[in-house]
Amino acid sequence: MTIPKERHVLVIFPHPDDEAFGVSGTITTHIQQGTPVTYACLTLGEMGRNLGNPPFATRESLPAIRKKELLASAEAMGLTDLRMMGLRDKTLEFEDDEKMVRMMEELIEETNPSLIITFYPDFAVHPDHEATARAVVRAVRRMEDRPKLHCVAFANNTLDVLGQPDIVYDIKDVREHKMNSMKAHISQTAWMLEEMEHKLQNGDTETENWLTLERFYTYRWDQDFE
Amino acid sequence: MELVEVNQLQAAIDSFAGKDVYLHLETTNGSYASHFNEGFFNAGAFIRNVVINFELGKVVGDSPHRVGLKLPQGWVYAQGITHFEIDEQGRLLLAGHDGSGKLAVALQLSETPFSY
């Protein structure tokens, strides 16, 4: 599938590095096609567990490190409109739900996107992913003229329930950008990248696919999550 | 952070005793624990910027250590502490990092509030 030109793409995820694994190739392609892309990252991943042993960071020094990494990832993708929304990692589901929806509505009103990318509610694994997905879906549901809503799903039961993703983009032309976006988040991705290199060297096709394809589910309004 | 040196850590804990101090206490298995290991019972707790005033604090045991704070009417403790640091703002940061470098527990004390 080729990636169509959009009016504006709005990407909403809770953690620095959420964009890297699932959508950095798609973001890069949109930018290279001249589509403006806004990435709203709700937290700085303050509660990340990878602090090293021996430690390279503390609970208190991690946010500044991850902020720098997020900026580096944006640069790797060519992204210029990065919004850091100032919430705290692992607390999103405990925020006032309506406040979360309003935050999404304001982003949508301002950027007027033709496409929004976020997680798929109930298939997003991490509580912050789920809270983000719920808020985005609720905000879009209330719109009269809804933009396209493409969702990333990776819960273990995704294939059983949702089936195959309806949107599969070949991003191998921007593979290096994707790799650089993932490498930008080195404090959190080092062990994963090491494992990935090992698998690639052994000709693991799943890992190769993961680097060259990005998959989305169009949100199913007829099977709304609530 | 450095590996816990018991005498140094004990002295640092003592320096916070009898004062109103801000507490950060956290235990975690990570939010992906039951994704990678289905059926895993994921539990943890998090407290940040609650003010306590403890009368006695102790670091006990071989690494990973246990650290307990006795309050006039209660207790705070953490187990699994491996590393410590007094940061540039004078805050006492204790953490337990597992063999793969992941934080499992943190206990931190500060005379000024921790960030948001």
Asked if residue A1 has pLDDT above 90, the reply is: no
Measured between beta carbons, the chain B residues lying within 8 angstroms of A52 are 97, 101
d(CA A164, CA A185): 29
Contact by Cβ (8 Å): B50, B23: yes
Interior/surface letters B89-105, b for 16+ CB within 10 angstroms, e for the rest: eebbbbbbbeeebbbbb
Least confident of A179-183, B36-40, B55-59: B36-40
Choose from A21, A51, A65, A92 for mutation: most chain B CBs within 10 A: A51
Chain A interface includes B65 (CB < 8 A)? no
* Minimal Cβ distance to A88: which of B3, B101, B116: B116
Least confident of A23-27, A152-156, A199-203: A199-203
**Percent of chain A surpassing pLDDT 70:** 100
Asked if residue B22 has pLDDT above 90, the reply is: yes
8 Å CB contact of B101 and A53:
yes
Note the pLDDT of residue A192: 84
* Minimal Cβ distance to B99: which of A53, A59, A63: A53
Measured between beta carbons, the chain A residues lying within 8 angstroms of B63 are none
Tell me the mean pLDDT in the region A200-204.
Answer: 85
Note the pLDDT of residue A211: 86
Chain B interface includes A128 (CB < 8 A)? yes
Note the pLDDT of residue B37: 85
- Alpha helix (H) residue ranges in chain B: 6-14, 33-36
Measured between beta carbons, the chain A residues lying within 8 angstroms of B100 are 53, 191
8 Å CB contact of B91 and A86:
no
| Strands, E assignment, chain A | 9-13, 37-43, 81-87, 115-119, 148-152, 167-170, 213-218
Greater model confidence, B30 or A44: A44
Q: Where does the pLDDT of residue A4 fall: very low under 50, low under 70, confident under 90, or very high at 90 and above?
A: very high
ipTM for the complex shown: 0.93
Note the pLDDT of residue A203: 84
Structure tokens at A141: 């549901």
Note the pLDDT of residue A166: 98
As its CATH architecture, domain A9-219 has 3-Layer(aba) Sandwich (3.40)
Segment A77-99, tens digit of pLDDT = 999 999 999 999 999 999 999 99
Torsion of CA A102, A99, A66, B4, to 10 degrees: 180
Whole-structure pTM over 0.90, yes or no? yes
Contact by Cβ (8 Å): A19, A11: yes
Structure tokens at B37: 């290991």
8 Å CB contact of A55 and B102:
no
Note the pLDDT of residue B4: 98
Secondary structure class of A212 (helix, strand, coil): helix
Distance between B100 CA and the closest CA of chain A, angstroms: 7
Note the pLDDT of residue B36: 83
Torsion of CA B99, B115, A125, B46, to 10 degrees: 70
Distance between B49 CA and the closest CA of chain A, angstroms: 13
Segment A19-64, tens digit of pLDDT = 999 999 999 999 999 999 999 999 999 999 999 989 999 999 999 9
Secondary structure class of A213 (helix, strand, coil): strand
Note the pLDDT of residue B28: 93
Q: Where does the pLDDT of residue A107 fall: very low under 50, low under 70, confident under 90, or very high at 90 and above?
A: very high
Chain B interface includes A59 (CB < 8 A)? yes
Among chain B residues, the shortest Cα distance to A187 is held by B101
The mean of the pLDDT values for chain B is 96
Among chain A residues, the shortest Cα distance to B101 is held by A52
**Percent of chain A surpassing pLDDT 90:** 88
Could you give the domains of chain B? Answer: 2-110 (2.70.180.10)
The mean of the pLDDT values for chain A is 96
Asked if residue B96 has pLDDT above 90, the reply is: yes
Chain A interface includes B37 (CB < 8 A)? no
